[in-house]
Structure 1
Amino acid sequence: MPGRAQVRRQHVAAQAKDLIAAGCIVLDTETTGLGDDAEICEITILDVTGAPILDTLVRPTRPIPVEATAIHKITDAMVASAPSWPEVAEQYAAAVAGRTVVAYNVAFDARLLRQTYQIHGITAPVLTTACAMLMYAEWHGEYDRSRDRWRWLKLIEAATDCGVAEDGAHRALADARMTLGVLRYLQRRTNGRRPAGPKVATVPQEALPSVLG
């Protein structure tokens, strides 16, 4: 009989399998910051095969702070000729319509999408979402008793653990590919068994908000 941990991982694998079978989309954004006035400056959406549905820089309404550029390397010059969000919004809305949106820390991406819509005075589509970060945290299985939840990992840590890490972290396309790679890894582990090998180090919880996108 499988133990509790194996059953838990089987549940996560089944969730990933169902998401992919239903034709979910995988999204990642890069942003001008973390606060209530931050907005999107890059977005990628992939289908379950990894093909891009949307992959573009976005021209924000304000200059990109140097602290944000230091993380994702997107400069004001790079977005100067990029479309504004209203020019991207129709394609984005078509991509997410009727689909479950998967992202790594989806709560952050969903909030920044809402904020970007609000900045431009347009109504955001209602999203159905699933969080790859929470799924992988449950799979990884390190419990944080002080917060009463599974401990979160950075995307690059989860991707490395799953063998799908790639260069270009903190750009939307690379991060979306790694998120899809993590989801596919989970989908394949239907027996709930974790391959032998060292677990990656977990990220301190207070460090997570400093990660843009």
Structure 2
Amino acid sequence: MPKARVRVIDLETAGNGATDVCEIGWQDVVFDEDGRWTVNEERGACLVNPGRPIAAETMAIHHILDEQVADAPFWKDVAPSILRPDGGVAALAAHRAAFEQRYCTPRLSGGAPWICTWKCALRVWPDLTRFSNQMLRYQRRPEGLVHELGLPAHRAMPDAYVTAHHLRDLLNTASIEQLLQWTTEPGLLPRVPSGPDRGKSWDRLGTDALRDYLRDRDADIRFSAQSELARRGENGEANADKPAQGSFL
């Protein structure tokens, strides 16, 4: 298998600007000679100078200080070598990959496809109660995950290391092509996430309720309701892919 490596990426940021990365971490998952995907020893992290002060709101999450990144390289200088390692990658991956993709643009990544472990976990482990990176860690207890290497949480390398164990198990359950396909679609939520139907699986809802959810502003909710209607052989509204009103955000 060519390029039998998926590189998991995790970013910590200074804020929400286009170049606000202050740390990147990575962990490789490789296809071994036994025909299984495994987490190998190729991992690391690099501090990045975001070019501006780190916001207190994000500093409170990752605890990276301005003085620690003052002499670090800028994002455009450090990203390509990490996102495009020698030998290439079959894909890049992240938990809720849309966040990392905001910063790891095709120009920096070489156009590599992405796997979102959050979207794929919804499909493969729908019976779990929550799907954050750390909740998956403690609900699933992935084999071989060294507890100390996954700490502290909310730092780039430990989080990438934890995500890589979810990715390994996903790749050993479904094909890489399937994971890539799921990533291109909205999240298929196993249960209604909020409101009066919170916690109910979609198959417990009546058709009218499902059609109401087709007008939700959340794309994952609309997609999940539409998928249940399709499973029943029913069509949704023609404009089901559009929310009833625009976002105020």
Band of TM-score, shorter chain: 0.5 to 0.7
Distance 1:94 1:186 in 2: 23
- Aligned residue identity for 1:162: R
Q: Which has the larger radius of gyration?
A: 2
Aligned to 1:208: none
TM-score (norm 1): 0.63
Distance 1:127 1:26 in 2: 12
Unaligned runs of 5+ in 2: 30-38, 175-190, 195-249
Which residue is equivalent to 2:13? 31
2:157 maps to 1:173: yes
Aligned Cα RMSD in Å? 3.0
Q: Distance in 2 between matches of 1:87 and 1:54?
A: 17
Structure 1 residues 50 and 42: alpha-carbon distance in aligned structure 2, compared to 1, 3 A threshold: farther
Among 72, 94, 98, the residue aligned to 1:103 = 94
Per-residue deviation, 1:89? 3.2
Structure 2 counterpart SS, 1:174? helix
- Counterpart for residue 58 of structure 2: 68
1:27 partner SS: strand
- Equivalent positions of 1:97-176 (< 5 A) are 97-114=88-105, 123-124=107-108, 125-141=110-126, 153-164=131-142, 166-176=150-160
Q: How many residues align?
A: 159
Gap runs ≥5 in structure 1 = 1-17, 118-122, 144-150, 191-201, 206-213
Distance 1:152 1:105 in 2: 13
Contact kept in structure 2, 1:46 and 1:52, CA below 8 Å: yes
Deviations 1:45-101 (A, max 9, x none): 222133335520101111100110000111101111211123313413432844300
Report Cα offsets for 1:24-43 as digits up to 9, x if no partner. Answer: 1111111122x354621111
Question: How far apart, CA to CA, are the structure 1 residues paired with 2:165 and 2:17?
Answer: 30
Distance verdict in 2 for CA 1:77–1:167, change over 3 Å: same
For 2:125, give the aligned amino acid. Answer: H
- Higher RCO (C-alpha under 8 Å, 6+ residues apart): 1
- Equivalent pair of 1:44/1:52 in contact (CA under 8 Å): no
Q: Identity over the aligned pairs, expressed in percent?
A: 29
Preserved CA contact (<8 Å) 2:7 2:89: no
Residues 171-191 of structure 1 show CA distances to partners (whole Å, capped at 9, x for unaligned) of 00010010011122334557x
Cα pair 1:133 1:152 within 8 Å, conserved:
no
- Give TM-score, length-normalised by structure 2: 0.55
Kept in 2: contact 1:134–1:152 (CA 8 A): no
The structure whose residues are more often helix, as a share, is 1
Secondary structure of the equivalent of 2:40? coil
Between stretches 67-76 and 40-49, larger displacement belongs to 40-49
Q: Secondary structure at the match of 2:104?
A: helix
User: CA contact under 8 A between 1:50 and 1:177: conserved in structure 2?
Assistant: no
**8 Å CA contact retained: 2:130, 2:136:** no
Partner of 2:231: none
The equivalent of 2:215 in structure 1 is none
Aligned to 1:24, the other structure's residue is in SS state strand
Structure 1 counterpart of 2:68: 78
Q: Is the contact made by 1:100 and 1:129 (CA closer than 8 Å) also made in structure 2?
A: yes
